[in-house]
Amino acid sequence: MGGFHSEAAAGVSVTTDDPNWWDGAVGYEVYVRSFADSDGDGVGDLEGIRRRLPHLAWLGVDIVWLTPFYPSPMADFGYDVSDYEAVHPLFGDMADFDRLVSDAHDLGLRVVIDIVPNHTSNRHPWFVDARSSPGAARRDWYIWRDPGPDGGPPNNWWSVFGGPAWTLDPGTGQYYLHLFLPEQPDLNWANPEVREAFVGILRFWLERGVDGFRIDVAHALAKDPGLRDLPQHCRADESMHRTEAWMCFDHIHDIDQPEVHEIYREWADLAAGYEAVLVGEVYLLRPSQVVPYVKPRGHLDLAFAFAPMHMAYDPSAYRRLFGRFTELADRGIAWVQCSHDEPRSVTRFGGGDLGRRRALALSVLMMGLPGVPWLYQGEELALEDGKVPVDRIVDPVGRIHPEDSRDGCRTPMPWEEGPGMGFTTGEPWLPMDDRDGGDTVAVQKRDPGSWLNRYRRLISVRHEIDRFARPDSIEWIESPTQVVAYRRGPVLVMANMADEPVAVTSPPGKWQVRYSTGRGLPGGSIPPTLGGAEALIAVRD
């Protein structure tokens, strides 16, 4: 990170001597509801986060991303915003937010907040006005159409959460578009008034000292002007799994439209004046789709690479994916293997010690790449998904398809042993009965060999090597099929993705191991054999 200072008062922007301060940083996602509860109501809040910021500074991350904390009816737990310039009372107030940002800056942490521009809540005053009459002042702030010839939806577009992406408004006789829940109507970004409103919203938070934005559904704001039908190759049905139904269509008109880049051109100009970062949730899986969103081809500073969350644990697949991303992009990729929307990687990779070793090995591969790796809260503890009984599911997706519930990856953070596990003094909003002391920050912090301390050492080595691992070009090392290995300047990263030991050969030269998942403290030369799911980082003397 470039050196920076902050002032406690709101309205004073952070200054820095490096406009690209995020280059080489490590990010950390805080799911606000589940991080830390300060008032005992069982729901995480801003004051709880503020009190736990020293953990993140100790861990060594640089950027803290906060999921939505705005007023919301909570149909999708905050991703249905009813006021973009306020704090939901459940999470605190604006004074709490200001103290959080000030303390974060004092600890050397940057704060990135979620902005949700594709849709609002159906209870947002904009939409309340829009649906009041066809001639309402903000009618054109949303996407309305007359029914189709058969009286049904205007086209065949499908919701990400299942079912048609259109809901009939009986009061006005027209349908409105929603790519997600009916309670989340899509904004009409072809309307310049919408664009102007969001520039004002971004400026509001930048003036309060935030260091950037994570842009929700960044690839979907612009829609095909003609709202043309999507090519369809199978019959979508609401009883189908949502992903299966979504894949019945070729999404060439509803997402990833060229007009979206004009929006981010304007945002980038604004962000540059505050030296703020723009991070896109570009939920497209092919590198060729994601890279056009980031500089120098696009206008965002970073875009998440979500493909690793949807892949089998396969060395050849990871080698191809990382190779393609690094071939196409400079340093604009945000690497993730966990988030609040998908099962935790430890669970996906088999659970238990095997799943933990596999997840850490993949983290090593990501930490050596150019770009910005991110951890999702609890990933540093090697947590598995929490167990949420069917009758306790609250996720709107999980209520339709329990097997697809996102609640398991959203259960609260275990901080210490005892009732509420340091998260709350009350009843947590999601159960955490399956957690034990070994899952907690307090217990793992005391154990030098814990997963927490392994991740902390990895982050430290990441910062060390990123300072001299230039140029960014990646040289893929010929290795056994089970092994993924690459060089980045004088740095070698190597991971055995098999569950059994594999013999490896070091590249020419004298190498010193700086980090190993299986050999304890660094030091010495590269071993002739890597254990199952073992990874290392070495530097050339």
| Helix/strand/coil for 520 | coil
Which tokens belong to 170?
Answer: 């009986």
Sequential DSSP letters for 185-239 = PBB-TTSHHHHHHHHHHHHHHHHTT--EEEETTTT-SS--TT-PPPPBSS---TT
**Catalytic positions:** 216, 281
Which tokens belong to 154?
Answer: 């205007």
Report the C-alpha gap between 434 and 431 in whole angstroms: 8
Residue type at 122 in one-letter notation = N
CA angle at 231 for the pair 226 and 232, rounded to the nearest 5°:
135
Between strands 475-476 and 483-488, the pairing is: antiparallel
Whose CA is closest to 183, among 131, 251, 252, 106?
131
Is there a contact between 517 and 364 (Cβ–Cβ < 8 Å)?
yes
Report the C-alpha gap between 93 and 478 in whole angstroms: 55
Q: Please list, residue by residue across 459-492, b when 16 or more beta carbons sit within 10 angstroms of its beta carbon and e when fewer do.
A: bebbbebbeebeeeebeebebeebbbbbbbbebb
Report the C-alpha gap between 285 and 312 in whole angstroms: 14
Give the bridge partners for 492, in sequence order. 487, 538
| Contacts of residue 197, Cβ cutoff 8 Å, sequence gap at least 6 | none
Residue type at 423 in one-letter notation = F
Report the C-alpha gap between 173 and 177 in whole angstroms: 13
With left for phi above 0 and alpha for psi between -120 and 50, is residue 92 left, alpha or beta?
Answer: left
| Rg, the chain, Cα only | 23
Report the C-alpha gap between 281 and 535 in whole angstroms: 28
